[in-house]
């Protein structure tokens, strides 16, 4: 050991130190058998720091020194992929698959050999190995730039940190590989069991759990823990527990590689040969890859896994078919979105059977009473489902389901679960029909349709029905309304149950003293009795911010029937003042573009109720801004700018991204033309992305979009992604 320390080459010593430190960390977090004392660990760590200071060329992104002391920004650093990660075109039927094969055959004038493999429902990653060592591991991001999760990758044993060379498979100087990170179904189930046993909500599916796990901020948690340890804080044990769990989760992730990007060195001739090389270097490849001579073989493969979908240890959502010969792949080429030499055959949405245990009703924010199915929990398309809305009584009748029936349940991908209908032949005669309650399950008030002939029935006790109150208070804080992050559903329930607020009118004026009287918003402190929780402190700050949100958000927060963001924006834009909106008649209101007579009626009706006007008065007294801010050019940086948004922009919901553009004064358009100023391209973009390139319009990724919103169009033009060659 001493000899190595004094005499070894710097690079060799560096590797040795990194391995020892990594190993110590893994042991420390993975199980309790620590191999090094803290002091020994520190000595090694300092030696590594000194070595890197003397030899900066040795520092790589995955060095342990690169993660400690970093700022907890809540974000990962961007990494530009060496070669763009493309998407795949889909085929949803045997015919579509055959059409793809026919086109390939026509383009080539021959039938190429095809490689079939499973489409893993995981998270795409891009890994770069330089001289055999992992340089970076990044998420897919927008295909060009992903997030750097290298630090986390080191805690995933399934991902090799260095490649093994052999005579048969020498390791290239530089190689970029692509694959999916996923949770095996069993690990996912175990994780959800652990999560739910702690009283937390389970992950919806293995894919979400994988994404959540890979993107945990391990490094900042470590830093936080280190700082707490230094202070001798009592929260150390909790943080240690959290970190432990976070790392155990990471340890459960698996990898399968299915592609190559940049490859410096002797390149393989076939996709299947590339896999053999990848496997030779120690990378996990699928054992279910098959090369077939023609389409019939593909169809047999698709049929086989259609039947044996659940025999695979991870979730799959289809089969990927690739032309095996790499030169032929090159001849076929790619569109800006996807290669022509590959296609994803997607399995149809899954239908399962489960028992309909009961039909219960839910009372919504505006009093609407909605029946929903309570079912024996069942796994469908990767997640466990036990509830599904049935919309209204007519729908229950239309579907013909009885309580106690076996029912067919469907869920396609992320789509909401849906009860399709009963398995009639399984009936025993003990099933019973659902009867819509006559009284509100929450407050006991007799239910009635709002108007004669309405399908929906409502609880008319809007003012004090506990269900409606909870939903309305929660709604005030929701993202589409005043966006108060510290006020979630549980907090809303606590505020009402503890009598801190009587209704939504009291929410904006909440004070620290009021929250101090709450059990939910305080915790015990040995010195000071009960003190506000961090969440409560945060809530007070956020309430202040919420008071100066744009007028349309205030209008949405009022829970006026039929008034969503679009109508609220129209009202705010055209009338600009809540007092004027309150005193406008139906005629005046329905003259506003985007506001029809139904909405106008609802607004007039709403303001006619005295306690509604009290809500407005209380908000005003709390300091909520009730008029549109005078618009100056400075606050509307996107005045006259037209933006098209396609795909999912990382960090934004679709509506959120649109609203952000509109709030800044810009216009969102549905189609790309020469007049489009910017096309924002997110994940899984549609053909608009191609059109943007064809018309030479500036394309923005998620980062560029942030520049547009924060710095305006000039800066965004600079940040635009150069058009594809
Ligand atoms: S090949 C250029 N093979 O599916 C071809 N992708 O829907 C790139 N995926 O982003 C992809 N399993 O992350 C390929 N065996 C497989 C795959 C696979 C899952 C993912 C991949 C891609 C997405 C496209």
Instruction: Dump pLDDT digits (tens) for 429-479.
Output: 999 999 999 999 999 999 999 888 888 899 999 999 999 999 999 999 988
Distance of CA 556 from the midpoint of ligand 1 (Å): 40
Q: How far apart are CA 23 and CA 63, in angstroms?
A: 13
Residue 383 Cβ contacting ligand 1 at under 6 Å: no
- The pLDDT, as a whole number, for residue 461 is 96
- The pLDDT, as a whole number, for residue 4 is 38
Q: Is 309 helix (H, G, I), strand (E, B) or coil?
A: helix
Q: Is 413 helix (H, G, I), strand (E, B) or coil?
A: coil
The ligand 1 atom nearest the CA atom of 86 = 2
- Examine the pLDDT at 414 and tell me if it is beyond 50: no
Q: Decide: 235 and 229 in contact? Cβ < 8 Å.
A: no
- The pLDDT, as a whole number, for residue 582 is 97
Mean pLDDT of the chain: 87
The ligand 1 atom nearest the CA atom of 334 = 2
Tens digits of per-residue pLDDT, 11-52? 888 888 888 877 766 655 433 345 566 557 667 877 887 887
Residue 323 Cβ contacting ligand 1 at under 6 Å: no
The rounded Cα 128 to chain-centroid distance in angstroms is 25
* Nearest residue by C-alpha to atom 7 in ligand 1: 88
- Examine the pLDDT at 489 and tell me if it is beyond 80: yes
Mean pLDDT within 383-388 = 87
- Examine the pLDDT at 512 and tell me if it is beyond 50: yes
Distance of CA 337 from the midpoint of ligand 1 (Å): 12
- Could you tell which of 83, 84, 85, 88 is best to mutate to test the pocket of ligand 1, judged by most ligand atoms within 8 Å of the CB? 88
Residue 180 Cβ contacting ligand 1 at under 6 Å: yes
Mean pLDDT within 248-252 = 91
Distance of CA 176 from the midpoint of ligand 1 (Å): 15
- Examine the pLDDT at 201 and tell me if it is beyond 90: no
Tens digits of per-residue pLDDT, 213-234? 898 888 878 888 888 888 877 7
φ and ψ of 355, to 5 deg:
-85, 130
Residue 691 Cβ contacting ligand 1 at under 6 Å: no
- Percent of the chain at pLDDT > 90 equals 54
- Examine the pLDDT at 5 and tell me if it is beyond 60: no
The ligand 1 atom nearest the CA atom of 259 = 1
The ligand 1 atom nearest the CA atom of 339 = 2
- The pLDDT, as a whole number, for residue 8 is 62
Q: Count the neighbouring beta carbons within 10 Å of the beta carbon of residue 23.
A: 12
Nearest CA-CA partner of 146 in 214, 241, 45? 214
* Nearest residue by C-alpha to atom 2 in ligand 1: 86
Question: Active-site residue numbers?
Answer: 119
Which helix (H) or strand (E) element contains residue 390? none
Nearest CA-CA partner of 302 in 315, 323, 319? 319
Mean pLDDT within 148-155 = 93
Tens digits of per-residue pLDDT, 630-685? 545 456 788 889 999 988 888 787 777 888 888 888 888 888 888 899 999 988 78
Distance of CA 496 from the midpoint of ligand 1 (Å): 48
- Examine the pLDDT at 381 and tell me if it is beyond 80: no
- pLDDT band (50, 70, 90) for residue 691: confident
- Could you tell which of 127, 320, 682 is best to mutate to test the pocket of ligand 1, judged by most ligand atoms within 8 Å of the CB? 320
Residue 337 Cβ contacting ligand 1 at under 6 Å: no
Distance of CA 336 from the midpoint of ligand 1 (Å): 15
- The pLDDT, as a whole number, for residue 70 is 24
- Examine the pLDDT at 605 and tell me if it is beyond 90: yes
Q: Is 710 helix (H, G, I), strand (E, B) or coil?
A: helix
Terminal alpha carbon distance of the chain: 54
Residue 342 Cβ contacting ligand 1 at under 6 Å: yes
Distance of CA 276 from the midpoint of ligand 1 (Å): 18
Distance of CA 453 from the midpoint of ligand 1 (Å): 50
Of 64-68, 315-319, 348-352, 610-614, the poorest mean pLDDT is in 64-68
Residue 142 Cβ contacting ligand 1 at under 6 Å: no
């Amino acid at each position: 050991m001493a000899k190595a320390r004094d005499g070894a080459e710097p690079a060799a010593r560096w590797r040795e130190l990194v391995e020892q430190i990594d190993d110590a960390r893994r042991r420390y977090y993975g199980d309790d058998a620590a191999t090094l004392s803290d002091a020994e660990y520190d000595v090694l760590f300092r030696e590594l720091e000194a070595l890197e200071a003397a030899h900066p060329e040795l520092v790589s992104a995955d060095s342990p020194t690169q993660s400690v002391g970093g700022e907890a920004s809540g974000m990962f650093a961007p990494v530009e992929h060496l070669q763009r990660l493309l998407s795949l075109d889909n085929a949803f039927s045997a015919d579509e698959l055959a059409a793809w094969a026919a086109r390939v055959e026509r383009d080539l004038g021959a039938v190429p050999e095809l490689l079939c493999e499973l489409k893993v429902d995981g998270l795409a990653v891009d890994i770069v190995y330089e001289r055999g060592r992992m340089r970076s591991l990044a998420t897919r991001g927008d295909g060009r730039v992903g997030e750097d999760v290298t630090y986390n990758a080191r805690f995933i044993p399934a991902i090799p940190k260095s490649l093994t060379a052999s005579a048969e498979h020498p390791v290239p100087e530089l190689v970029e590989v692509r694959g999916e990170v996923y949770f095996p179904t069993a690990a996912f189930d175990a994780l959800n069991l652990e999560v739910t046993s702690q009283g937390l909500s389970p992950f919806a599916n293995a894919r979400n759990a994988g994404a959540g796990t890979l993107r945990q901020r391990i490094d900042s948690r470590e830093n936080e823990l280190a700082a707490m340890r230094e202070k001798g804080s009592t929260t150390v044990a909790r943080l240690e527990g959290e970190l432990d769990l976070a790392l155990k989760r990471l340890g459960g992730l698996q990898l399968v590689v299915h592609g190559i990007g940049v490859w410096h060195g002797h390149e393989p001739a076939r996709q299947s040969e590339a896999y053999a090389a990848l496997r030779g270097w120690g990378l996990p490849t699928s054992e279910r890859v098959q090369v077939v001579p023609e389409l019939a073989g593909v169809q047999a493969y698709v049929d086989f896994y259609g039947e044996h979908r659940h025999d695979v240890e991870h979730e799959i959502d289809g089969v990927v078919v690739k032309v095996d010969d790499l030169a032929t792949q090159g001849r076929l080429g790619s569109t800006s979105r996807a290669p022509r030499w590959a296609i994803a055959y997607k399995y149809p949405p899954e239908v399962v059977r489960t028992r309909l245990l009961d039909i219960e009703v839910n009372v919504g924010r505006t009093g609407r009473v909605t029946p929903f199915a309570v079912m024996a929990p069942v796994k469908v398309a990767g997640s466990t489902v036990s509830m599904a809305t049935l919309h209204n009584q007519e729908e229950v009748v239309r579907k013909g389901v009885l309580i106690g029936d076996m029912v067919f349940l469907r869920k396609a991908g992320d789509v909401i679960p849906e009860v399709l209908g009963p398995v009639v032949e399984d009936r025993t005669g003990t099933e019973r029909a659902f009867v819509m309650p006559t009284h509100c399950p929450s407050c006991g008030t007799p239910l009635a349709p709002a108007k004669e002939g309405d399908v929906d029935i409502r609880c008319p006790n809007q003012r004090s029905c506990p269900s409606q109150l909870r939903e309305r208070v929660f709604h005030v804080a929701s993202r589409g309304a005043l966006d108060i992050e510290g006020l979630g559903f549980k907090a809303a329930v606590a505020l009402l149950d503890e009598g801190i607020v009587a209704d939504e009118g009291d929410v904006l004026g909440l004070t620290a003293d009021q929250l101090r009287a709450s059990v939910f918003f305080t915790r015990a402190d040995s010195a000071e009795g009960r003190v506000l929780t961090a969440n409560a402190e945060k809530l007070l700050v956020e309430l202040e911010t919420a008071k100066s949100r744009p007028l349309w958000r205030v209008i949405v927060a009022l829970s006026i029937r039929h008034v969503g963001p679009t109508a609220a924006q129209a009202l705010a834009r055209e009338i600009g003042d809540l007092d004027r909106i309150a005193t406008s008649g139906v005629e005046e209101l329905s003259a506003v573009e985007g506001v029809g007579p139904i909405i106008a009626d609802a607004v007039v009706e709403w303001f006619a109720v005295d306690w509604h006007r009290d809500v407005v008065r209380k908000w005003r007294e709390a300091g909520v801004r009730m008029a549109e801010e005078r618009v100056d050019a400075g606050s509307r940086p996107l005045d006259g700018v037209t933006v098209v948004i396609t795909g999912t922009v990382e960090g934004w919901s679709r509506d959120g991204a649109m609203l952000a553009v509109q709030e800044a004064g810009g216009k969102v358009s549905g189609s790309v033309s020469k007049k489009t100023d910017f096309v924002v391209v997110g994940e899984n973009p549609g053909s608009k992305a191609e059109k943007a390139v064809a018309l030479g319009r500036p394309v923005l990724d998620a980062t560029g979009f942030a520049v547009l919103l924060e710095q305006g169009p000039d800066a965004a033009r600079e940040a635009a992604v150069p058009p594809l060659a």
